A and B are shown apart, each in its own frame.
Chain A
Amino acid sequence: MSANLFHDGVDILHGQRRLWSFHGGVHPPQHKHESTNLPVIRAELPERLILPLHQHIGEPAEPIVQVGDKVLKGQMIGRAHEFLSAPVHASTSGTIVDIGEYAVPHPSGLNATCIVIEPDGEDRGLEHPRVGDYLQLAPSALRNLIREAGIVGLGGAGFPSYIKLNPGKLDGIDTLILNGIECEPYITCDDMLMREYPREIIAGLRVMQHALQARVCVLAIEDNKPEAFRALHDAALHEAGIEVILCPTIYPQGSEKQLIKVITGKEVPANGLAIHIGIVCHNVATALAVHHAVEHGRPLVSRYVTVTGAGVSQPRNLDVAFGTPVRDLIIQCGGDPAAVKRLIMGGPMMGYALHSHAVPVIKTTNCIIAATEADIVPPRPVMPCIRCGACADACPVMLLPQQLYWYAHTNDLDKVQEYNLFDCIECGCCSYVCPSNIPLVQYYRYAKGAIWTKEREHEQADIARQRHEFRLDRLAREKAEREARRRLKKASLAKNQDKTPHTEEAVDND
């Protein structure tokens, strides 16, 4: 591979910044080349697009269209009212045929409100005003534009990006990291995007840099993507202040805190945010979306999605309009949805199994794995924990998964928290290496859920108790006041019996 990285006889890694490493991590089989052989094409538009109003972290958007309305591609159909929210746009032109509950991508297989569009086949776009020179815009106006374009973190988290483009109280941040790591096996959508749009990604990075007033920009790519690295390296060759760097492949390097450690050597405090140490991380696909929004006024209506796994005969990346059902993508890639054993949204390490292939692609969908027996190891018997510590050696957060398991398993919710359960990023490294096949992450999710439920109950009980106490308080106060009034009245009555009678009215009126 390193041979690829010699450019005109010069080792282009020469002079790269020093990299750090994080504890643990694993090297699962990559399975990436399967989906990088075919060029990216647009996914066919389905008969109906199902657009959930909640495709991000935060509050769902609220519909601003009605059944029967005609919409154009890029037209806003769901508005974000809250601070932590993102709007939703029509991903093609057509007619709104329903607003109702549909199955959405979610680990628990729940239904949520979606707007359904029947495409008219013309894919007519709304005319968007051009911004001109974004450098002339006030940072808040720039952020608002990005918010209105519906841009959220496209690496998988779906956090509204405009919030992470705000330096807050700082004049500017220290380092802006653009995450092109893509460390999960199977997924190649960022890889393809970087190969095809290096200049646009750098342009988007510049916009982000401007919004954050970042001193340094670092674009990090894992060394299993030499083509992407070369493309971006060339695109950034004459750009001052942008470093494109190659990191040795290891999972979960793409996780924000781990990547920050690798690049800066700094650890984000456990209860803090990256920005507290002057660093912000964005995904490369997000940078491209920002570029499109700022340069062309185009809101986020589609993305690259890797469709792979042994269940499809032509694994590849597709440019997919949001709302396209997963089923259509599998068929387009030569798969039979009925023959798929497990349908995974996301990567094999952190993705979740879908309950139905009717769910749509949303903003955070980076990969669909149509898995068959060839991809999944058949479940092996779960053995007792032998305390071998392989899990602890693999944990990138330096937790003690065996102890967490022990306490989660015995339902000791205080102890699991003492062992920092809530620092667990659910990366799955511990489960991956456990010789006893214990589904450790499942236990941690369960324990987290149990603690949240308990806390909520606690809170509710607190609220109820407060209400009750407040009511008793009020009753007692009222009683005391009545009592006082009566006494006052009595006293003045007694006084007035031997004085003038007109003061009695005054007392009564109090």
Chain B
Amino acid sequence: MQFDSPTSPHGHARTSVTRVMLRVIYALIPGIAAYIYFFGWGVAINILLACVVALVCEGTVLRARSRPVWPFITDGSAVVTAMLLALALPPLSPWWLTLCGTAFAIVVGKQLYGGLGYNPFNPAMLGYVMLLISFPLEMTSWTAPQMLLDVKLGLIDAATAIFAGRLPEGLPIDAFTMASPLDTLKTQLLLDQTVSNVIATSPIFGNIGGKGWEWISGGFLVGGLWLIYMKVISWHIPAAMLGALFAVAAIFYLIDANTHATPWFHLVSGATMLGAFFIATDPVSAATTNPGRLVYAAGIGILVYVIRAWGGYPDGVAFAVLLMNMTAPTIDYYFRPRVFGHDRK
């Protein structure tokens, strides 16, 4: 008589990669909802388009690499990558921008490195940076928040704008776009304006950050905290990244409040919250030890500030994440937890 005899443990927790990724997707919902509320249906169309492209690319490459397609298509990781990339794009980006970025993220950023688990860089950020370098104009023409617009864009309008490059009533897309708050602040500061002046004169600023952005960031914060609560991510990366960004911003703010935005502004602006809870925490490309994660994420927080303040781009989350991705293996090697029964080294 023979039984099947695999080794212990014989049980397994109810968990899987798909489950983890699904939770990440659920956690994105509040932020996405706020984003759609403030910036219109374009956001939703971008996300949907990116997801379809990602799944098609993933499936095609998996087949070409003669890897099993079904388990990897359903693991949810391609969808998460697509969503993160789409969230980083301007809400009325032309369709080909989303397509190029997503295809690059999945094919080059993920599959060419060996697929799930083997990509040293965050694929979504790789796709984003590729777009930013190749199509700087498209990537920085941000839609204005809906409340600043006279015409409200419906679902059909947004779709026409994205797929046909036209707007209703023959309006040019430019009528709906303006620089993002981080961008505005950056250009205006270069023109020797003071921070308080810029914020007071431009309508895109709200109470602490950009109008609408405060809510979107709040949505991502809520989703992110839920992920920590559900133990999908650990607190180390968000805490260290936000903490470091806040600390550096606070130092410069205290030195000169005229030329440096408040630390709060940095926390709710651009991709800070999305980055802290959803991008920097991408497990594959992040540091994997808990002490290492603190160092890794603090590095991101500092780099975000440096790029925002002195770099050539308005937001620095993508570059900061990619730069720290490179250091993750080294950080993991040097920052290991103390093993039970061993002395602290």
A residues engaging B (CB < 8 A)? 22-23, 26, 28-29, 107, 109, 185, 257, 261, 267-270, 272, 337-338, 340-344, 346, 348-358, 369, 371, 375-377, 379-381, 383-390, 392-393, 396-400, 402-403, 419-420, 423, 426, 428, 431-437, 439, 441-442, 445
Contacts and interface: CB of A to CB of B under 8 A. Distances in A.
B116 A376 contact: no
A398 B289 contact: no
Given A348-B8, A353-B3, A398 B17 contact: no
Given A348-B10, A432-B12, A435-B20, A342 B339 contact: no
B117 interface: yes
Given A385-B117, A386-B20, A390-B15, 8 more contacts: A348-B11, A357-B1, A371-B10, A389-B283, A393-B231, A393-B234, A419-B336, A423-B342
Contacts of B284: 386-387
A270 B71 CA distance: 40
B115 interface: yes
Contacts of B201: none
Tell me what chain A mostly uses at the interface: helix, strand, loop, or mixed: loop
Nearest to A391: B288
A257 B71 contact: no
A232 to B, nearest CB: 28
B6 A379 contact: yes
B229 interface: no
A98 to B, nearest CB: 21
A381 B71 CA distance: 7
A353 B286 CA distance: 37
Interface in B33-48: none
A403 B336 CA distance: 10
Contacts of A369: 10
Nearest to B12: A377
A433 B14 CA distance: 8
Contact of B5 (A353, A380, A399): A353
Contacts of B2: 355-356
Contacts of A386: 17, 20, 77, 116-117, 283-284
A355 B10 CA distance: 15
Contacts of B288: 387-389, 392, 400, 402-403
B183 interface: no
A64 to B, nearest CB: 33
A272 B10 CA distance: 30
Contacts of B332: 403
A270 B339 contact: yes
Contacts of A437: 12, 16
Contacts of A419: 336
Nearest to B337: A398
A356 to B, nearest CB: 6
Contacts of B342: 269-270, 420, 423
A428 B4 CA distance: 19
B341 A445 contact: no
B133 interface: no
Nearest to A337: B1
B3 A383 contact: no
Given A342-B10, A348-B8, A392-B288, A355 B3 contact: yes
B8 A400 contact: no
8 contacts: A348-B9, A349-B11, A353-B7, A380-B12, A397-B340, A398-B340, A400-B289, A435-B17
A354 B10 contact: no
A31 to B, nearest CB: 9
A436 B17 contact: yes
B344 to A, nearest CB: 11
Contacts of A428: 8-9
Interface centre among B2, B10, B116 (most CB of A within 10 A): B10
Contacts of B71: 381, 383
B117 A387 contact: yes
A389 B340 contact: no
B337 A400 contact: yes
B163 interface: no
B13 interface: yes
A443 B92 CA distance: 49
Given A397-B340, A403-B288, A435 B16 contact: yes
Nearest to B340: A397
B65 interface: no
B138 interface: no
A402 B290 CA distance: 12
A376 B336 contact: no
Contacts of A352: 5, 7-8
A371 B3 CA distance: 10
B341 A269 contact: yes
Most buried by A among B20, B288, B332: B288
Contacts of A185: 11
A342 B5 contact: yes
A278 to B, nearest CB: 15
A349 B77 CA distance: 29
Contacts of A261: 340
B116 A441 contact: no
A384 B337 contact: no
Contacts of B283: 386-389
B4 A257 contact: no
Contacts of A400: 288-289, 336-337
A432 B288 CA distance: 18
Given A396-B340, A435-B17, A441 B11 contact: no
A371 B6 CA distance: 13
A416 B336 CA distance: 14
B7 A442 contact: yes
B117 A384 contact: yes
B75 interface: yes
Contacts of A398: 337-340
Contact of A433 (B5, B13, B234): B13
Residue picked from B290, B293, B340, most chain A C-beta under 10 Å: B340
Contacts of A392: 288-290, 337
B9 A432 contact: yes
The 5 A-B residue pairs with the shortest CB-CB distance in the complex, in nearest-first order: A384-B117, A428-B9, A353-B5, A270-B341, A388-B283
B274 to A, nearest CB: 19
